[in-house]
Amino acid sequence: MPRYKLVIEYDGAPFVGWQRQDNGPSVQQALEEAAERICGEPVRFHAAGRTDSGVHALGMVAHVDLPKTLPDGKLADALNAHLRPAPVAVLMAEDTGEDFHARFSCIERRYLYRILTRRADPALDRGRVWWHARSLDADAMHAAAQVLVGHHDFSSFRAAECQADSPVKTLDDLSVARCAEEVHVTARARSFLHHQVRNMVGSLALVGTGKWSAADLRAALEARDRAAAGPTAPACGLYFVSARYGEE
């Protein structure tokens, strides 16, 4: 069976998340149903990251084994035709080797978190940004964020439901920059704990309002206790941007 690698964009708002669940529609289910209509039998998609409900993707990577061979461009077109009106779009689909695994072969995942900092709530970007009515000092956030970069025990930023074997991860980059009315947080690592990006953003926002210093953020990290860190930032501001693989 040929294996295909896909790059996928989706609006997370109407979904319970990437993964199939009993309580509502998932991105995985939308893709699998579209593929089943093309191939005539059930297939299984595997993604680089299992995003939560409301989390978006600009370039999620997934793979699927199909019982029939389709020209690369034709597969993306056919999936997109069957996916409508679900807000999921296959940007690229290509034949790949059997040893490629979207999750296990991935060596780097990149996320973007968008915070809209203005008095008025968003009209055009509702559900696409975290609306933070108070202003945030992006420079202070960026400076403090460097405390979290590197090899650490991230227990303070780990959701209780996290299924990872260890809370120790290496965070390769955590950058904060102002972009007009928005503050953008970008995070890059081989892998993340459950809710790690949203929990780091929630604490960085405390730095941005001046409530926390970089030393407070360091103390939260060193406590290795979820209760020591800030709140979880909302899902709607988070975007899975891209996944990198060894051959690239």
Binding site for a second copy (CB under 8 A): 9-11, 56, 58, 73, 76-77, 80, 84, 87-91, 118-124, 126, 128
User: Residues 11, 22, 52, 165: which is the catalytic one?
Assistant: 52
Whether 78 contacts 145, CB under 8 Å: no
Cβ nearer to a second copy, comparing 221 with 236: 236
Cβ nearer to a second copy, comparing 56 with 110: 56
Cβ nearer to a second copy, comparing 86 with 147: 86
Whether 98 contacts 63, CB under 8 Å: no
Work out the angle at residue 110's Cα, subtended by the Cα atoms of residues 104 and 113, and round it to the nearest 5 degrees. 135
Nearest to 25 by CA among 12, 37, 8: 12
SS3 letters for the chain?
A: CCEEEEEEEECCCCCCECCCECCECCHHHHHHHHHHHHHCCCCCEEECCCCECCCEEEEEEEEEECCCCCCHHHHHHHHHHHHCCCCEEEEEEEEECCCCCCCCCEEEEEEEEEEECCCCCCCCCCCCCEECCCCCCHHHHHHHHCCCCEEEECHHHCCCCCCCCCCEEEEEEEEEEEECCEEEEEEEECCCCCCHHHHHHHHHHHHHCCCCCHHHHHHHHHHCCHHHCCCCCCHHHEEEEEEEECCC
- CB 107 to a second copy: min, Å: 25
- CB 95 to a second copy: min, Å: 17
Is 111 labelled as part of a ligand binding site?
yes
Whether 168 contacts 190, CB under 8 Å: no
- CB 83 to a second copy: min, Å: 9
Cβ nearer to a second copy, comparing 26 with 203: 26
Is residue 22 among the annotated active site residues?
Answer: no
Cβ nearer to a second copy, comparing 90 with 235: 90
- CB 229 to a second copy: min, Å: 29
- CB 10 to a second copy: min, Å: 5
**Which residues are annotated as part of the binding site for substrate?**
111
**Which residues are annotated as part of the binding site?**
111
Just list the catalytic residues.
Answer: 52
